[in-house]
Amino acid sequence: MVRNTKGGKGAKSMARKSTISSGTYPIPTSDMEHFAVVSKMYGPSCDVILHDGSKLLCHIRNKFKGRHKSANLISLGSILLIGFRDWESDTNRKNCDLLFVYDNAQANSLADRFSLPTISDNLYASHDILFDDSIQPISNDFTTHTTTTTTSTILDVDFSDI
């Protein structure tokens, strides 16, 4: 247990925050672990894309939330280590769990050794909506009206005659 030598508020927690992580990071060791890239963020989960192009729903565990969130920031395009759920069949695989979040330096060194998945532009294209130009806008039947102003003659009226 950490000895409280400073006293006061938060002395123990401040000591625990200064730990330096080592330079090692996990790589996939079994066929149930894969690299993935984040394509869409939800609240407690995100959509990830694997190297073969398949899309899975990745569940973010509590280890990556709360106080430890700053060191494991997940955003669009982040490289993740995910683990498949062994109770799901290979043909009906839809869910996975987050095991590790790589930062930019770790992702660059992984890219030198492994082939990492990337987000292609066609994944952002929506295949659900079909845009069609068959509906034409109503024709513009606006006729231009020219206004003619008539100049009225101003009569000289003598107010003394009234």
Digit-coded pLDDT (tens) for 96-131: 999 989 888 888 888 887 777 777 644 444 455 566
Per-residue pLDDT tens digits for 39-89 = 998 888 899 998 888 898 999 888 777 776 777 788 888 889 999 888 877
| Tokens found for residue 126 | 């929506």
Q: Which residue has the tokens 């292609």?
A: 120
Contact between 81 and 35 (Cβ < 8 Å)? yes
Write down all domains in the chain, each with its CATH number in brackets: 26-120 (2.40.50.140)
**Phi, psi values for residue 18, rounded to 5°:** -90, 15
